[in-house]
């Protein structure tokens, strides 16, 4: 496998030339105080060094060794504790954290690039700081000032880690039926009892403490999701002076043996009357948890993108070096017995598909991150509201489409290696295995599709969608004629999505099955159309520079490939949506 190199040139292109993020930061006073183009560039440069130098070398060895469990204690693979200390000392755990409590305060659009780098280097490793950052976000936005001061500084510093304890053996997506209990105590704390499963980083040896955020129900809580509260439950109790006290009444019952991400500890956590502290209001736990959901779901989409990037870097190196057969047009490497496989049309198809989906995904994830920044920091209520609604609309697309495309991309990378792609030592099969979880956790992609179709499209009457459609149409209307080769197919794709959206909205009025029947293919059409917008924006930024710099020539060639070979997928997907729900219900359950 090729050594990982952070795609800094492309990241800078997206941030500085496509989206001109410095202009956005200048319009948001809270960000203008902490970040500018030079600061951002320095952060990305340093993140590229630490991820490539300290974390990427542990990817395969971590997969081979995995985590181990012994009487409640979890050991991470060799090298992980030392690499985590290096990562934490660089301030990377708190890159997006509040400066008030020791974080860097960087915008999400910068954090998104750092996330891509660490997850490309080593997804299992990247999950530990990701869960900590997610826990910090909920604490920052909903906990009392006392709890923030007590927990956030050490979490941002990477001295303590965090976990999110939601899922139970009988309750996954339907969190309203959780059984974990929280009993109020005279001192204002709560006794937490119950079992949580699939808890990433629930136990490990990377930090001296782990701060669990646990969903639980009070004895008199209303039934369903309106009766869920959120609690901080530390692994080790924290004294008033900030020092560590006794171990809390909780433990790791076991770890899961998984298809991938083997160096990430996925734990069964048992809470046996553990001491916990309420975050936010009673029975408002889901509100506090959903504060971080848009960030976490975008983060999972970025994980997929990261794996696709790592797979592409290895595949392109292999395709340039591996020789097999001659080019269809005759020998290219005449001094060799055969030509490099990059000359063959099918290999080029796979490589270009990987490149187009990765670069389109990087632009799209950055675009969504910018909306998160705008929604959080804009002082104009209307601008913030529009951005917040765009985030709501685009988050399920970012999570599901990025990860669906990532599986296609990593499989292509494996395929380019031929038989070597199936062998562990070459590394490509690990990326496929690791990638598969991204379509499942943080809400399966089927659930994301239902969220997009049911809540964000039908639920808003199409108003959220109109924000994006109007923006794209405005871009097309203002574009120069030299962009016609990109804007014309983009306009046709948006018109198709307009019509498809109206079709589903109309059909859903009389048949609720239409929402679920349309959702997966609809999200795919939405994703390809959104990527087309990204590619048109990138083409605009590259056009006219291609003669002076191969980077721009490559960008334009990839854009042309996307519009010619990938965007047309929307037509068959749209036909599937318009086939309706009837064929899904032709069989009785016994006939399957």
Which one from 115, 116, 296, 442 is the annotated catalytic residue?
442
Give dist(CA 104, CA 91) in Å, integer. 7
Say how many C-beta atoms besides its own lie within 10 A of residue 273's C-beta: 14
Q: How many CA atoms lie within 13 A of 190 on its CB side?
A: 26
Decide: 213 and 165 in contact? Cβ < 8 Å. yes
Closest by CA position to 413, among listed 383, 434, 438, 442: 434
Q: Which residues does 458 contact at the CB level (< 8 Å), separation at least 6? A: 504, 505, 508, 515
Say how many C-beta atoms besides its own lie within 10 A of residue 419's C-beta: 7
Q: How many CA atoms lie within 13 A of 423 on its CB side?
A: 8
Please list the alpha-helical segments (H only) found in 66-177: 80-89, 108-121, 123-142, 145-156
Residue showing tokens 């990433």: 200
Decide: 144 and 107 in contact? Cβ < 8 Å. no
- Tokens in use for 144? 């009392």
Q: Which residues does 263 contact at the CB level (< 8 Å), separation at least 6? A: 58, 62, 63, 65, 66, 67, 76, 77, 80, 122, 124, 125
Give dist(CA 262, CA 234) in Å, integer. 25
442 is catalytic: yes
Q: Tell me how far CA of residue 47 lies from CA of 85, 111, 521, in angstroms.
A: 14, 10, 36
For 234, the enclosing helix (H) or strand (E) is strand 229-234
- Tokens in use for 254? 């076991």
User: 118-147 in b/e burial notation, b at 16+ Cβ within 10 A?
Assistant: bbbbbbbbbbbbbbbbbbbbbbbbbbeeeb
Please list the alpha-helical segments (H only) found in 417-427: none
Give dist(CA 103, CA 33) in Å, integer. 14
Catalytic residues: 442
């Amino acid at each position: 496998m090729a050594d990982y190199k952070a795609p800094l040139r492309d990241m800078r292109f997206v941030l500085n030339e496509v989206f001109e993020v410095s202009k956005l930061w200048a319009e948001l006073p809270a960000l203008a105080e902490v970040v500018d183009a030079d600061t951002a560039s320095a952060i990305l440069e340093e993140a590229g060094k630490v991820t490539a130098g300290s974390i990427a070398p542990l990817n395969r060895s971590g997969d081979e060794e995995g985590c181990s469990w012994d009487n409640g204690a979890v050991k991470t693979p060799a090298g992980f504790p030392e690499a985590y200390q290096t990562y934490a000392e660089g301030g990377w755990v708190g890159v997006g954290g509040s400066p008030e409590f020791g974080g860097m305060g960087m915008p999400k659009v910068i954090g998104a690039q750092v996330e891509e780098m660490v997850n490309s280097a080593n997804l299992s490793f990247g999950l530990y700081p990701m869960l900590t950052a997610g826990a910090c976000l909920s604490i920052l936005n909903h906990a009392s000032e006392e709890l923030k001061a007590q927990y956030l500084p050490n979490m941002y510093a990477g001295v303590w880690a965090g976990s999110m304890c939601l899922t139970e053996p009988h309750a996954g997506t339907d969190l309203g039926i959780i059984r974990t209990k929280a009993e109020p105590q005279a001192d204002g704390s709560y006794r937490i009892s119950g079992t949580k499963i699939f808890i990433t980083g629930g136990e490990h040896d990377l930090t001296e403490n782990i701060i669990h955020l646990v969903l639980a129900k009070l004895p008199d809580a209303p039934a369903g999701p309106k009766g869920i509260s959120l609690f901080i439950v530390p692994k080790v109790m924290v004294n008033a002076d900030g020092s560590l006290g006794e171990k809390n009444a909780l433990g790791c019952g076991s770890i899961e043996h998984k298809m991938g991400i083997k160096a990430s500890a996925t734990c069964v956590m048992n809470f046996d009357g553990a001491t916990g502290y309420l975050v936010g209001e009673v029975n408002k736990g889901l509100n506090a948890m959903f504060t971080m959901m848009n960030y976490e779901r975008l983060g999972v989409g970025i994980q997929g993108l990261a794996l696709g990037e790592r797979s592409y870097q290895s595949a392109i190196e292999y395709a340039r070096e591996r020789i097999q057969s001659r080019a269809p047009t005759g020998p290219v490497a005449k001094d060799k017995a055969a030509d490099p496989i990059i000359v063959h049309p099918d290999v080029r198809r796979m490589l270009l598909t990987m490149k187009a989906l990765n670069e389109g995904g990087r632009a799209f994830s950055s675009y969504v991150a910018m909306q998160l920044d705008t929604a959080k920091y804009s002082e104009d209520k209307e601008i913030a509201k529009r951005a917040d609604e765009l985030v709501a609309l685009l988050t399920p697309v970012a999570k599901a489409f990025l990860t669906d495309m990532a599986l296609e991309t990593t499989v292509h990378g494996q395929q380019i290696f031929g038989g070597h792609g199936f062998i562990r030592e070459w590394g490509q099969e690990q990326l496929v295995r690791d990638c598969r979880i991204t379509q499942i956790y943080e809400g399966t992609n089927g659930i994301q599709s239902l969220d997009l179709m049911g809540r964000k499209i039908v639920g808003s009457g199409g108003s959220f969608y109109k924000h994006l459609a109007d923006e794209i149409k405005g871009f097309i209307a203002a574009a120069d004629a030299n962009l016609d080769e990109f804007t014309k197919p983009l306009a046709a794709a948006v018109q198709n999505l307009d019509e498809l959206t109206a079709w589903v909205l109309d059909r859903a009025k009389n048949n609720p099955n239409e929402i679920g029947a349309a959702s997966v293919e609809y999200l795919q059409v939405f994703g390809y159309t959104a990527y087309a917008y990204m590619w048109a924006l990138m083409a605009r930024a590259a056009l006219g520079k291609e003669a002076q710099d191969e980077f721009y020539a490559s960008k334009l060639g990839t854009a042309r490939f996307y519009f010619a070979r990938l965007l047309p997928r929307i037509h068959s997907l749209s036909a599937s949506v318009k086939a309706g729900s009837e064929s899904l219900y032709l069989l009785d359950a016994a006939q399957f």
